Chains A and B, each alone.
Chain A
Amino acid sequence: MLWVDKYRPKTLDKIIVHEDIASNLKKLVSEQDCPHLLFYGPTGSGKKTLIMAVLKQMFGVAVEKVKMENKTWKIDAGTRTIELEVTTLSSTFHVEMNPSDAGFQDRYIVQEIIKEMAKSRPIITKGKKGFKVLVLNEVDKLSKEAQHSLRRTMEKYSASCRLILCCNSSSRVTEAVRSRCLNVRVNAPTEEQIITALEFIGKKEGLQLPSGFAARIAAQSNRNLRRAILTFETCRVQQYPFTNNQVVPLMDWEQYVSEIASDIMKEQSPKRLFQVRGKIYELLINCIPPEIVLKKLLSELLKKLDSELKHEVCHWAAYYEHRMRLGQKAIFHIEAFVAKFMSIYKGFLIATFG
């Protein structure tokens, strides 16, 4: 097992990165009831860990006994029946699922599953917690229709069902849904928090950490705890007695993007643009989200750029990212950004050096 999983805090008490949130949640849950929750924050900040800890706090160890189901739902939608296949993780107290798997028919999933859960209320001898928890991942990827239908079902079945929503950005969750939930913002951990987490793991593993080593990893981790811990483990695997100048491995795709960036800086021509297009295609094919490609590309370009141009380039990056979200073919927009950058940069070069 990787350290990421091995040292994942299982209860709210053990959480060390977002201690304030954890203590608040603990207070909330100990009231025997809880509102709908919406966790949002960047990847690798610990949303899922928090959610699992909350569930454990609410229902005890039984939550950890989960079974994976690949269920096919048959839904009557007016004239036709739709068959949807969704993978769910369920224990006696909760169901976890990723409704955006169903694509544009996610609306039916949301409706049907909540209904089904409402029907099968857990019977608890203590007679207290007569509700189930539905954990929905990637709510921001739900369609507008699904979010609207979610809003009704949230109220209708609130007696038997609690929702815990989890997403990266709350801006793409409709107001209506947000206002029905208790919003929990999970920040990306600060570098200090990451360093403490790494030192905690190092202590548990009995490793000698040279001073500043954890800080280096944390600085490179992009404030992503998962990545920091993985990098840490990678370093451990590659060379144990850590040295201060040890190479901290980078993500391959990031290196690839920086290669692209230096390609762009070297030459600005339609021909080069065509080569860049091929490389961007490579990234997109390998399931790297286009927004992240664009963002990373921008940051790589900014590193090498003159400060007077930075503002303008950032502006255009934002412009094209916006258009990318409106459109469908991400590559058009990324390439448009690259072309724009080339144009700006070439103009700048000519103006400066003649």
Chain B
Amino acid sequence: MEMDMDIPLPEELEWLESNALHEEEQEDFEELIEEDFEEVQDPKSISPENSKKRRLHPDVVVVEGVSKSSPDEKKSRTTASSPEAVPDEEWLRYSPREDPVVVDDGGGDDGPVAGVVEEKLLSRFASEINGPSISVTGPCGDRVYSMMRHDEVYGGDRRGLNVRTSSKGLLSEPMNVLMEKVEQEALNKALQASFGASNDPMDEAVPISTEKLWVEKYAPSSFTELLSDEQTNREVLLWLKQWDNCVFGSQIRVTSNDVLSALKRHSSVAQQNKFSDFRILSSKSNGFPLRNQNFKLSDALNEEKNNLKELWNKKTAANGSPEQKILLLCGPPGLGKTTLAHVAAKHCGYRVVEINASDDRSSSTIESKILDVVQMDSVMADSKPKCLVIDEIDGALGEGKGAVEVILKMVASDRKSAIKVGDAAEESQPGKASIKRSSRRATLLRPVICICNDLYAPALRPLRQVAKVHIFVQPTISRVVNRLKYICNKEGFKASGIGLSALAEYTEGDIRSCLNTLQFLNKKRESLKVWDIGSQVVGRKDMSRSVFDIWKEVFQKRRVKHEVKSMNSRVPGNMDFLYSLISDRGDYDLTMEGIYENFLHLSYHDPLMQKTGKCLDFLGGSDTLLQYIMRTQQMFLYVYQPFIAISIHSEIAQVGKPNIEWPKATQRSRAMLMEKKEILKCWHNKISPQISRHLSIASFVTDVVSLLLHVLSPSTLRPVALHLLSQREREDLAQLVDTMVSYSLTYKNMKYEPLLTNQREAVSDASMLSLEPPIEHFISFKDYQTGHCVLSSAIKQVLVHEIEKRKILRENGGHQPVHPSAESNSDQPLRTKDIGAFSNQTNNINSSIKMNRENPNCALTHESLKAGASQNSILRDNKCGTANGVKVKAPIIANRRSSSSSFFDRFRKLSSKGSEIPDDYQQKPATMERDSRPFLFKYNEGFTNAVKRPVRIRELLP
């Protein structure tokens, strides 16, 4: 009954709004009124309508063929304000009196009309009314007669929600609503008093059917009865209301105030009176101003509410449905999540469709189911839109994940079409709106409420990001106890307040558990005893809590409960609690890690570090135990894990609230270790096998890396041009290059900002060269200064070129790697090899120039050229020294070298001007081709790319 009573309210208000629109057109008044009546009348909700129409009667007014007109009526109202205003408020109290009338009218066919008519056409004398009349006694004792009128057209499509003309009235009329609510309640009471209300199965006051579980029997059926946190309730309702635009095709609806004010029921009646007075006074004016004023007043009263409303006004104006299409309620069991979802949905005029864990939740079935619910209107008698409630969504594993996926898909598609939908919101024609709705596919058009216990369940991770999340908190014990008391009274079960509060505390506010226990005791004809609670009587649920809760419990001493203390020593009780808590969760690895990373921040008294040592011993034991279990697969040993945590708890638990962080360090270090190992492994594979086979990765880090870095960055190497180096320095450099090549190390441009050491020569180079692979990272510990000297970037540049050169030399200069001792071969191969190497040398210079050009700075071009040239000379010297037979050819080579170097000199000048860049790029393919044939010599004359022809080296030799 109550549910039914609730539903028409929004409609009425809408109706009122629409009337407000019509207000101005007084000419069409009569016809319009007719229609409006037809639309609104509801047999079951007579009295609210009555009252409302009464209050708003200047807007509504009039029946056909009546002598009195509305202005008259107004006048009478305003002038004789006291007799009228008093009834306005007093009426509420008298409303029960009307009920017999309503019921007598048989389904209320005539009731509403009677009410209205009585309002409009009351007269002191029955004779003044033509047609049937009814006598009404006002609160002040005045008796009046009212005309009765039959509504012929009654029974049409009066309730079609979608067939509602939406109005632009954005203003609220909180007073109406407040009044209504109060009246409703009064009516309810009266109904119950007179009929025993036995006809309504949903009503909480039904004291029958002992077979039923109390939990169901006393489930809250209206919004105000909910036990859960008011803030949450309100927000859930607000969210649901945001759907109105999409679902009912209307703009903001005044009904929300009804609910909100219902929550503020305790606000004084006096205030209401004032408001009603005011309204009546101002009712002379037209609809809009009136509303405005009312709104202002209510604004002053319920500022918060209206702010919220304005907020969602804006939101809903953009697209038909709220920003977050899914509501996710989470919290421990028994706090009334499901109940809230159901009640709130019903309150907002939805029919609840529930999918829970017992249903088939595979992806395909759930999709069709959701589509059914979300996109189709039912053809059943009550054409209420549906609201989907997916219960226990976190229990969805494997197959059940389908639900989450489907919902996410729909949300995603909704997002895409959201832009197009925008204008649909302004659609006032219900027909049109519905067409639009059906034309869109696979989008969420109905509210979906998901309910879960564990917000952080892995399956919900994606959902969490798109949904509006509400976390349920435990209701206050007193609230729970009050309700329990009430129910106990109803059931005639004797229970002391202390016992009930102990029970509630024990179950942590889980009403379901409380009620079940009470019912069970009732059946057994036992009474609730305080000392029973701790024992097996209370059915406890097997629920797991989040890891954070576990950590908190481990680190924090529980307040000693007096009940428990009186019974037995508290330690075992606490241990039981912790044991079940930890073993229910099961993830010991994570639990221990969290304890490990957080326990040092606790404040416990430990002057000799003994407790800390013990805790770490425990943790180590846990680690070895876990490892043992893993290795031997003896899973039953897991039962001993919780005791480790419990002993840690007994060592270090503190009274204050611990500051717990998620253990990241272990994971982070694991990831970094893997990364570094990978770097080493890659590098290890790159080093030539002759070296790498002797070097394991482990020993590299422990024995080699720091020394290698010392070797790689000799402090004796001066950052000067190569030809300025002494003989020994040159040898050192060659040695260094050789080492770097054999260990496949080089320098690479990094995009980091230049380090402090580098800033001295920041002029020359903005980008920094660093080792590749970055082995210097292996000695960079936090808060540690290494004694390694860093090479200047100029030297690094030189080294890069030298390394490149050496690599190419290796590849081309012969099949065997360049061993210093392997030089003593016969004449001919040496000569060819050398010359080949030489030609490559020139190529290298060529390419190095190109490389330099690509670098932003040209300053180093000169240097690298010098380096190349000096390298040439070294090579030549070397050759002359070692092989006698080559002497003859020396002049030729020298000649060639000089010419080529002069060529490059010219080339460099041009290139520094930057005019020859395109030419140079043209040269590139030619260079490439030349490189592929190592024994080809190309003689370039002039400064263009004037390649005359390829010449065989033997043609040049005598």
Contacts and interface: CB of A to CB of B under 8 A. Distances in A.
A96 B690 CA distance: 12
Given A89-B689, A333-B623, A238 B716 contact: yes
Interface in A243-284: 249-253, 255-256, 259, 268-271, 273-274, 277-279, 281-284
B121 to A, nearest CB: 85
A339 B606 CA distance: 12
Interface in A329-349: 329, 331-333, 335-336, 339-340, 342-343, 346-347
A144 B616 CA distance: 29
A67 B1 CA distance: 88
Contact of A288 (B596, B626, B702, B732): B702
Contacts of A249: 706-707, 710, 787
A285 B676 contact: yes
Interface stretch (B138-146, B313-321, B775-783, B888-896): B775-783
Nearest to B783: A279
B696 interface: yes
Interface string A270-307: 11011001110111111111001000000000000000
Given A240-B716, A289-B698, A282 B781 contact: yes
Contact of B600 (A5, A233, A234, A270): A270
Contact of A350 (B608, B691, B711): B608
A4 to B, nearest CB: 8
A48 interface: yes
Interface string B165-201: 0000000000000000000000000000000000000
Of listed B673, B707, B742, B784, residue having the most chain A CB within 10 A: B707
Contacts of A268: 609
A277 to B, nearest CB: 8
B627 interface: yes
Given A230-B703, A252-B786, A268-B609, A327 B624 contact: yes
Interface in A45-75: 48-49, 52, 64, 66, 68, 70
A124 interface: no
Contacts of A282: 781-782
Interface stretch (B664-672, B842-850, B862-870): B664-672
A332 B673 contact: no
A278 B608 contact: no
B685 interface: yes
A44 B783 CA distance: 30
A311 interface: no
B693 interface: yes
Interface in B589-624: 593, 596, 600-601, 606-610, 612-613, 616-617, 619-621, 623-624
Q: How large is the interface on A (under 10, 10 to 19, 20 to 34, 35 or more residues)?
A: 35 or more
A283 B781 contact: yes
Given A137-B696, A251-B706, A285-B672, A278 B782 contact: yes
Interface string B670-687: 001100110010000100
Contacts of A323: 620-621, 624
Given A285-B672, A287-B697, A347-B608, A340 B704 contact: no
Interface residues of B, number: 67
A43 B620 contact: no
B693 A48 contact: yes
A147 interface: no
Contacts of A284: 669, 673
Contacts of A234: 707, 710-711
A216 B520 CA distance: 86
A176 to B, nearest CB: 20
Contact of B779 (A96, A253, A274, A327): A253
Contacts of A240: 716
Contacts of B693: 48, 52, 89, 96
B715 A252 contact: no
A332 B596 contact: yes
B781 A237 contact: no
B665 A281 contact: yes
Interface in B295-340: none
Contacts, number: 196
Of listed A1, A44, A253, A292, residue having the most chain B CB within 10 A: A1
B708 interface: yes
A43 B699 contact: yes
Interface in A91-110: 96, 98
A327 B708 CA distance: 33
A2 interface: yes
Given A226-B699, A233-B711, A259-B784, A252 B779 contact: yes
A328 interface: yes
B707 A289 contact: no
Interface in B611-645: 612-613, 616-617, 619-621, 623-624, 626-628, 630
B738 interface: yes
B706 A336 contact: no
B716 A269 contact: no
A346 B699 contact: no
Given A278-B782, A339-B609, A287 B703 contact: no
A8 to B, nearest CB: 7
Given A270-B600, A282-B781, A2 B711 contact: yes
B739 interface: yes
A70 B685 contact: yes
Interface in B738-793: 738-739, 742-743, 777-779, 781-784, 786-787
B612 A273 contact: yes
Contacts of B612: 270, 273, 339, 342-343
Contacts of A52: 693-694
A287 B620 contact: no
Given A333-B620, A339-B612, A350-B608, A44 B703 contact: yes
A277 B597 CA distance: 10
B707 A287 contact: no
Given A271-B600, A343-B612, A279 B711 contact: no
B673 A285 contact: yes
B699 A342 contact: no
A12 to B, nearest CB: 16
Nearest to A141: B698
B447 to A, nearest CB: 46
A66 to B, nearest CB: 5
A274 B601 contact: yes
Contacts of B620: 320, 323-324, 327, 332-333, 336
B707 A230 contact: yes
Contacts of A253: 701-702, 706, 779, 781
A335 B620 CA distance: 9
Interface string A5-19: 100100000000000
A287 B680 contact: yes
B733 to A, nearest CB: 11
B714 interface: yes
Nearest to A227: B703
A269 B612 CA distance: 9
Contacts of B742: 1-2, 5
Contacts of B669: 281, 284-285, 331
Nearest to A335: B616
Nearest to A251: B706
Contacts of B676: 285-287
B707 A68 contact: no
29 contacts: A1-B691, A2-B711, A4-B694, A43-B702, A48-B693, A48-B694, A70-B685, A137-B696, A138-B696, A233-B711, A234-B711, A237-B732, A238-B710, A238-B714, A238-B716, A249-B706, A249-B707, A253-B701, A268-B609, A273-B600, A274-B600, A274-B601, A279-B782, A289-B698, A328-B630, A336-B619, A339-B613, A340-B616, A346-B607
Given A2-B742, A224-B703, 9 more contacts: A49-B694, A138-B696, A251-B703, A282-B781, A326-B628, A332-B623, A335-B616, A339-B616, A343-B613
User: What 9 pairs across the A-B complex have the smallest Cβ distances?
Assistant: A336-B616, A327-B623, A252-B779, A230-B707, A343-B609, A339-B613, A327-B624, A234-B710, A326-B624
